[in-house]
Amino acid sequence: MRIDIVTIFPEFFGVLDVSLLGRARQGGLLDLHVHDLRSWTTDRHRTVDDTPYGGGAGMVMKPEPWAEALSSILRSDGSSTLVVPTPAGTPFRQTIARSLAEHEHLVFACGRYEGIDARVFEWAATRSTVVELSLGDYVLNGGEVAAMAVIEAVGRLVPGVVGNPESLVEESHEDGLLEYPSYTKPASWRGLDVPDVLLSGHHGRVAAWRHEQQVERTRRVRPDLLPD
Ligand code: SAM
């Protein structure tokens, strides 16, 4: 999979060289490129923002540098997907991560200030699929952290990135429920014991207990995930 990121803070993405994604980059499973939006400006001050039409606080990112950047990054055959992090987007979920992991080319447009001139996405939709995603119901300073979260969630689903694919199956949100609690050795620690059933060696009972735990935890923490 190829991933391009456009940002005014390329240094944010140094962490993509670390851990599983870093190894996936080195191994050629993820072809990741970070671009500085300012390299597509033409003025001496490398300006990327201007005041909003209609008034109001803050600045808006100008359309011209974005159009220049995206013209050179989006593929001409329409096969690219432009991912736009925004608190006004569709809530990002595991099902969306699964679907994005099937795409060949993802391009992330990281907004700053009050966001990017809305015409950029109308224009981009004529040459790519545009997906506006929100990380959650809160406001970050920029799209970089959100892009990073989406890249990590999608990247780990690309075949080969996580060594044991089975570890991806039994995770929170994969079957619509939160994961059961996990334990490792020692069986007794600071007066706290691992539940007996996990020491029983009885696979059926372990599976039933884990499912009960998933349902109970989901009901307690995220009742909105359960069917009515
Ligand atoms: N004025 C915008 C609004 O009210 O919707 C918020 C702008 S925010 C300060 C700057 C940028 O941070 C946004 O353009 C977006 O890229 C990113 N951002 C902020 N919160 C986000 C969230 N919850 N999910 C995804 N991206 C977010």
DSSP string covering 29-68:
S-EEEEEEGGGG--STT---EEPPTT--SS-EE-HHHHHH
Whether pTM exceeds 0.90: yes
3-state helix, strand, coil in the chain (%, to 5): 40, 20, 45
Report domain extents, the chain.
2-165, 173-225
Of all protein residues, the one whose alpha carbon is nearest to atom 1 of ligand 1 is 114
> What confidence score (pLDDT) does residue 73 get?
98
**Quick one: which H or E segment has residue 152?**
helix 144-155
Instruction: Please name the CATH architecture into which domain 173-225 falls.
Output: Orthogonal Bundle (1.10)
pLDDT digits (tens, 9 = 90+) for 181-225: 999 999 999 999 999 999 999 999 999 999 999 999 999 999 999
Q: Which of 140, 145, 150, 151 to mutate to test the pocket of ligand 1 (most atoms within 8 A of CB)?
A: 140
Low-confidence residues of the chain: pLDDT under 70: none
Q: What pLDDT score was predicted for residue 102? A: 97
Mutate to test the pocket of ligand 1, among 61, 86, 108, 110 (most ligand atoms within 8 A of CB): 86
Q: Determine if ligand 1 sits within 6 Å of the CB of residue 169.
A: no
Task: Examine domains 2-165 and 173-225 and report if their fold is the same.
Answer: no
Specify the CATH architecture of the domain 2-165: 3-Layer(aba) Sandwich (3.40)
pLDDT at 151: 98
Q: What is the ipTM of this complex?
A: 0.99
Check: CB of residue 67 under 8 Å from CB of residue 42.
no
What is residue 152's predicted lDDT score, i.e. its pLDDT? 96
Chain segment 125-146, per-residue pLDDT in tens: 999 999 999 999 999 999 999 9
CB of 160 sitting under 6 A from ligand 1: no
CB-based contacts of 221: which residues, under 8 Å, 6+ apart? Answer: 178
